[in-house]
């Protein structure tokens, strides 16, 4: 490679890295929706920026390439640090015999008709007490079979005429309320009470709009936050948030409601990426609950991995 070509490649790499790092750093001054794609991918893109900066340094040893490398390391390191904020506090001891239930959540995918039978089998075999199904239209013809294992349901003819969001339960459900968070989709947010022995558990399931659809994602989170605050009680919320917990609007939502997830958040999208994917499906809970054994569930034809977790009810103070 000639010196002029080497310099041209160096300039191109540095220009691309500068744009990428500016986009990743935009979160520190604004959570403008146009950069939302970068926010959830901060760790992945940060690692790519580190490699790119190292390559630029090999092409030309300069102050600017060193600056890019330091910038990349700082952005990536901060993204890893932010992931820890909403993980469960493992120092708090869980009393022996504390009641618990198993929660499963899966975005079925609206056209995943071929996977409906496998998903039905997986749900029944999972032993989950409660199941959240999103984009659940393909499951509408399997509800009768599921009813044998899950006699209680909201969605798909119960409390709503849509089959987009369904909650199945082995325990009695009451007071279901479906809510429109925006004008894009109907009834993608539901709150319902579940009776677990002598305890009432407030459950919420949500499917948010993708964050690069204007301000919809942020606005839906703001409305969901306002509604959940009115409960004035502890609750468990799960579903497809279409964003990682490190995105600015997600951070505001989680901090405002003091929500925590499990000890580690599994990646859920895209399904083929495995651990290298992004955790955009979540299960969170307030202080009176502890989420543990949070793990990914096979997609069975969906483009999302599902989630399952044990939710422990901590004793009343």
Determine the pLDDT at residue 33: 74
- Kind and range of the H or E run holding 28: none
Angle between helices 63-82 and 3-25 (to 10 degrees): 30
Q: Answer whether 247's CB lies under 8 Å from 39's CB.
A: yes
Q: What Å distances lie between residue 70 and 14, 56, 83, 123, 257, CA to CA?
A: 13, 13, 20, 47, 34
Instruction: Kindly list the domain boundaries of the chain, sorted by start residue.
Output: 3-82, 100-313
CATH number of 100-313: 3.60.10.10
Determine the pLDDT at residue 317: 65
- Pairing label, strands 165-169, 100-107: unpaired
- Those residues of the chain that have pLDDT short of 50 are none
Question: Degrees (nearest 5) of the Cα angle 261, 243, 193?
Answer: 50
pTM for the whole thing? Answer: 0.94
Beta bridge partners of 236: 203, 285
């Amino acid at each position: 490679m000639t010196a002029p070509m080497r310099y041209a490649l160096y300039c191109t790499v540095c220009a691309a890295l500068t744009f990428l790092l500016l986009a990743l750093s935009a979160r520190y001054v604004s959570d403008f929706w146009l950069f939302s794609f970068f926010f959830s991918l901060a760790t992945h893109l940060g690692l790519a920026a580190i490699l790119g900066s190292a390559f630029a340094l090999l092409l030309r040893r300069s102050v600017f390439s060193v600056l890019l490398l330091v910038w990349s390391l700082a952005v990536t390191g901060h993204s890893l640090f932010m992931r820890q904020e909403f993980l469960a506090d493992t120092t708090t001891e869980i009393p022996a015999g504390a009641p618990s239930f198993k929660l499963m959540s899966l975005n079925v995918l609206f056209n995943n008709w071929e996977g409906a039978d496998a998903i039905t089998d997986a749900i029944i075999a999972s032993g989950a007490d409660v199941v959240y199904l999103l984009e659940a239209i393909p499951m509408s013809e399997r509800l009768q079979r599921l009813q044998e294992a899950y006699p209680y349901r909201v969605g798909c003819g119960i409390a709503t005429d849509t089959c987009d969001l369904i909650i199945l339960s082995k325990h009695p459900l009451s007071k279901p309320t479906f809510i429109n968070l925006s004008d894009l989709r109907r009834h993608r947010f539901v709150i319902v009470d579940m009776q677990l022995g002598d305890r009432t558990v407030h459950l919420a399931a949500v499917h948010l709009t993708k964050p690069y659809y204007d301000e919809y994602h942020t606005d839906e989170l703001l409305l969901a936050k306002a509604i959940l605050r009115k409960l004035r009680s502890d609750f468990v919320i799960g579903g497809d948030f279409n964003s990682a917990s490190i995105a600015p609007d997600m951070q505001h939502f989680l901090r405002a409601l003091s929500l925590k997830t499990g000890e580690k958040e599994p990646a859920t999208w895209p399904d083929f990426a495995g651990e290298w994917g992004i955790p955009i499906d979540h299960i969170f809970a307030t202080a009176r609950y502890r989420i543990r054994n949070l793990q990914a569930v096979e997609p069975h034809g969906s483009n999302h991995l599902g989630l399952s977790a044990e939710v422990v009810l901590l004793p009343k103070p």
